[in-house]
Amino acid sequence: SQTIHQWPATLVQPVGSPLSLECTVEGTSNPNLYWYRQAAGRGLQLLFYSVGIGQISSEVPQNLSASRPQDRQFILSSKKLLLSDSGFYLCAWSVLQGLYGYTFGSGTRLTVV
Amino acid sequence: QKEVEQNSGPLSVPEGAIASLNCTYSDRGSQSFFWYRQYSGKSPELIMFIYSNGDKEDGRFTAQLNKASQYVSLLIRDSQPSDSATYLCAVKAGLTTDSWGKLQFGAGTQVVVTP
């Protein structure tokens, strides 16, 4: 069966520090991968999606970036965090262009102080 | 206009009653529709999907789709306190408008089931 791993679960980082969040998927090949952010009490905001290794599309211009170095690995990064980067970061995967929906990881709660 | 709209709630429902959640969407080419449940502090969990007009039942949950009117609804029968959560509606874009078929999420409806 397919599983998605996301870590860390919580993170407190100072303003201006770098960020690296990792997501890996097991049990499937060539998944579509997504990074979402959910601010407190808000909806899901799609940040990046990837259809394959090295293929990244950005939905929202910001100081975040994403990379997909391996088929089932998706990394979200920032060189310098802002207070506004605080939120709940979710990785998700799908197959068949999301025909059966997306499956989300457990999320990382990031607080920038 | 938002592409997927839901009432934010909170929707207060007595235990044992039916909770009715609605969602409207703007893309007439949308083909697939999903309901996610998100408990506070947790990630969204897929609970229902529907592709065809009409009703689809799964246990205490019923999804209803009306493509002509561009709405999808979720009924929760015999509501339990454990159903208290935020319910997200998601719509998969039609291939004619988005060849990639990304899901568009609504902002969610908070449901509170009171004992």
Per-residue pLDDT tens for A16-74? Answer: 999 999 999 999 889 999 999 998 878 899 999 999 999 999 888 679 999 999 999 99
Task: With cut-offs at 50, 70 and 90, classify the pLDDT of residue A79.
Answer: very high
On the 0-12 / 13-18 / 19+ scale of CB atoms within 10 A, A56 is middle
Report the pLDDT value the prediction gives residue B96, as an integer from 0 to 100.
60
The ranges of chain B with pLDDT < 50 are none
CB B43 within 8 A of CB A106: yes
The string of pLDDT tens digits covering residues B78-100 is 999 999 999 999 999 766 655 56
The string of pLDDT tens digits covering residues B14-24 is 999 999 999 99
Q: Is the pLDDT of residue A15 over 70?
A: yes
Helix (H) or strand (E) holding A104, with range, is: strand A103-104
Contacts of A101 in chain B (CB under 8 A): 32, 34, 36, 46, 49, 90, 92, 103
Mutate: best of A50, A93, A97, A110, partner B, most B CBs <10 A: A97
Please give the biggest Cα pair distance in chain A: 39
- What is the mean predicted confidence (pLDDT) over A63-89? 95
